[in-house]
Amino acid sequence: MRKRLLLLLAVVVATLTAAGAQAYTAFQQSNASQAAAPEVEVAFAGALPAAPFVIFRNTAEGHGFGQAATASLAEPNGQRTLLGTSCDRVYAARNLISCLSTKNGIPTTFEAATYNGSLQQQAGWALGGIPNRTRVSTDGSLVATTVFVAGHSYASSGFSTQTVISPADGSAHTNLEDYSLIDNGARIKASDRNIWGVTFSPGKPNEFYATASSQGNIWLVHGDITARTLSVAATGVECPSISPDGQRIAFKKSTSGTLAGSREPAVLDLATGNVTVLGERRDLDDQIEWLDNATILYGIPRNDAGKDSDVWSLSIAADAAPQLFIEHAWSPAVVR
């Protein structure tokens, strides 16, 4: 028995030593990458700009990789300003930034944080899984976060999400799985349901849209924060994003009609129910953002590794072609 215990102890020590060495190597590589000269022209700032801008995750190699950054809407692919905060996902309103990040260590942890227009942290709280989506209401009062509790994508077998809406100060957290899911007046009580991809309705602080799924079904749901309900509004709509005028929903449309397969951008007219599939055939895994009422933005990875990516723009006209909007960027949000 003593020999077995000693052997087990030796295996445990060896495993921990290997894990520690791997973590140290990754840490050293990350530091070396951060110390390198950036691939793009950058500046540094202690506050959000006053003029209309786009905020995004900087994916250019070198100093500033992974940081939140801003660029002018008048010259989005020009000089970018680094904000000094690393984010896996970022979104913003005029005076509030939501930043979801991974804290590498043993164990690895995940965190949400909010910052004001002067880049001072307002709140921070632990996340229950891998950061995936975040949105801020137009008035800056609410923050939505989605994480993967199990699995790493919506196509994963047995994936599970956790989507929470919180005040900007992080004082309370409402899990959307606690809301009633309703279809034509009947409550759906499925235990396997997942909710993700919140988009807040402009000018209606009590309302939002999101995606819900169960048993292979994908629904667009209309959320009511006061009533704590999610009402099915359409089917086949994943990761919605509502237009600034509140009339259309841009979303990821599955080419297979299920959670499996690739996605392409499409637009749902909320008044008529008509869906227009747009002219982007690369697989889309970003939550779409609206540049204006006629143009969308989204990130596309440059390669399978997914470390570098670009933000593209696309008119919602059916025959339009994608245009490069910002090189080395991801997770865009337009702030006016």
> What are the pLDDT digits (tens) for 109-166?
999 999 999 999 999 999 999 999 999 999 999 999 999 997 666 655 567 999 999 9
**Between 36 and 154, where is the model more confident?**
36
Spatial contact of 68 and 136, defined as CB atoms under 8 Å apart: no
Per-residue pLDDT tens for 184-221? 999 998 878 899 999 999 999 899 999 999 888 899 99
The bridge status of strand 309-315 relative to strand 180-183 is: unpaired
Over 80: is that where the pLDDT of 40 sits? yes
> Which pLDDT score, from 0 to 100, does residue 31 have?
45
Spatial contact of 247 and 241, defined as CB atoms under 8 Å apart: no
> Which pLDDT score, from 0 to 100, does residue 262 have?
84
> Which pLDDT score, from 0 to 100, does residue 26 have?
40
> Which pLDDT score, from 0 to 100, does residue 23 have?
41
> Which pLDDT score, from 0 to 100, does residue 158 have?
64
Residue 316 CA: distances (Å) to CA of 254, 276, 292: 18, 8, 10
> Which pLDDT score, from 0 to 100, does residue 306 have?
65
Over 60: is that where the pLDDT of 223 sits? yes
Over 50: is that where the pLDDT of 17 sits? no
Over 90: is that where the pLDDT of 65 sits? yes
Question: Average of pLDDT values for 320-328?
Answer: 97
> Which pLDDT score, from 0 to 100, does residue 255 have?
77
Structure tokens at 226: 């006061």
Q: Which residues have CB under 8 Å from 140's CB, separation 6+?
A: 93, 94, 95, 96, 168
The residue count of the chain comes to 336
Burial of 174 (0-12, 13-18, 19+ CB in 10 A): middle
Report how far residue 106's alpha carbon sits from residue 16's, in angstroms, rounded to the nearest whole number.
10
pTM value is 0.87
Report how far residue 298's alpha carbon sits from residue 326's, in angstroms, rounded to the nearest whole number.
10
CB count within 10 Å of CB 192 equals: 10
> Which pLDDT score, from 0 to 100, does residue 150 have?
76
Using a pLDDT cut of 70, give the percent of the chain over it.
Answer: 85
CA quadruple 43, 44, 47, 53: dihedral sign: positive
Using a pLDDT cut of 90, give the percent of the chain over it.
Answer: 71
Instruction: Please give the domain boundaries of the chain with CATH numbers for all domains.
Output: 89-98+118-335 (2.120.10.30)
Spatial contact of 121 and 169, defined as CB atoms under 8 Å apart: no
Over 50: is that where the pLDDT of 27 sits? no
Per-residue pLDDT tens for 234-265? 999 999 999 999 999 999 998 776 777 788 99
pLDDT band, residue 15 (cuts 50/70/90): very low
Report how far residue 293's alpha carbon sits from residue 267's, in angstroms, rounded to the nearest whole number.
11
Residue 69 CA: distances (Å) to CA of 50, 75, 121, 208: 14, 14, 16, 26
